Structure 1
Amino acid sequence: MAFQGPLLVFSFSACIVLYHHHVEGGTTTTPTLSRLDASFCHGGLEVIYPEPEVNVNKCFIISPEHRERISKVWDAPQIRFPESDEKKKYVLMMVDPDAPSRASPTRAHWRHWLVVDIQGDGLSRGELKGTTLSEYARPTPPQRSGFHRYQFMLFEQPERKLLLTKDEKSSLGNWDPQAFIEKFDLGVPVAAVQFLTQNHKD
């Protein structure tokens, strides 16, 4: 089922609610997704990293013990969409709208991954068979830049050839995903998920 409503992904800022609780020896701060960030996810898309604990099938914050591995070790995740139509093709994009920071996103959007011509028959089984326009780039939020959103969006692809321009290929930063969506008539995403993470040294 297609997502009904405006494409909010490019218009609002990330928001995190911080809850403080007391433990022996001090106070710890536990970040929790705001209702706004939690509402981004829909459609049943799954982003699966090697650790079984990191199956991104809803909006959440990456736990501290996984942040270094997701930035330095793990390669492209497995993508699964159980609701895919085997007769259709799909487009997957992954972006960071908070580059280099939420407070000053002067390099947004950062294009982390872009795959087109994805075959629907394999997507339901977690097989990403398509044409890669941008290779997967691991999430690497700079130190002291706060939490970044890493957003995965899946679109049904119309019967046309999708390409990046020469200028788009020259840089991953300052990419305009909305312009790409409108240029190729992708409409709204049929499914989307996001996770939030920050530099593992913070």
Structure 2
Amino acid sequence: MFESDEHLKLQDNVIDEVKKLGFAKHTFSEVILTIKYEDIVNLAPIGVLLLGSNLYCKIYSNSKIYRFFKKGIRDCVLNITDDPIMFYNAIFEKRKVALAPSSLVTSPRVKECVAYVECRVDYTEDRRECMDVFMNPIFAESIKSYPGTYKRAGPAIIEALIIYTKIEHFKTVDRVKAEHFFEKIKTFREIVYHSSTKKEYRQTIDEILKMSEAILRS
């Protein structure tokens, strides 16, 4: 059965909105993913690509998100923010993350993000060490209507968090790479201290460095 012209037009409109939000084929967009299984909600920072009409992400097998997808999650939300503290809380302080109902899917949104993309999970490919997840965006909404200036500290913290999530996996499969990740987090700490005197930012990057070293040396 062929999809109706109206359905295809609606899908094209959503893809156009997704592109406007910055999702692209060759560069990962870092978002906070929220998913729900029965009454349990989980969330995590994740990198996403736009591949044709699908959004794609890779989930490592040592993560809780991976175990959720193994159970057959059918939808999710990509929550877009440039606030590094929200990314930090999505990993270390999940209880501090405020949630809100979504428009078309069962997985909730993270409150106070600047944009949202609600998705249905098209299919997954389990490759043992990781899982490829292909999502069909069905609704996109932008809350923030004005641009902000670029600040180095926030992106540096987000990059450090992304690298932190990979250390656990690579310390067993590629120790040299895990050590390299740790050194990069040190560099990001220098960037934060050089570009911001904000106490919360400095405490956050210090905590990321401390926990990264603990994982690496355990």
Fold match by TM threshold 0.5? no
More contact order relative to length (CA 8 Å, sep ≥ 6)? 1
TM-score (norm 1): 0.28
Which of structures 1 and 2 has the bigger CA Rg? 2
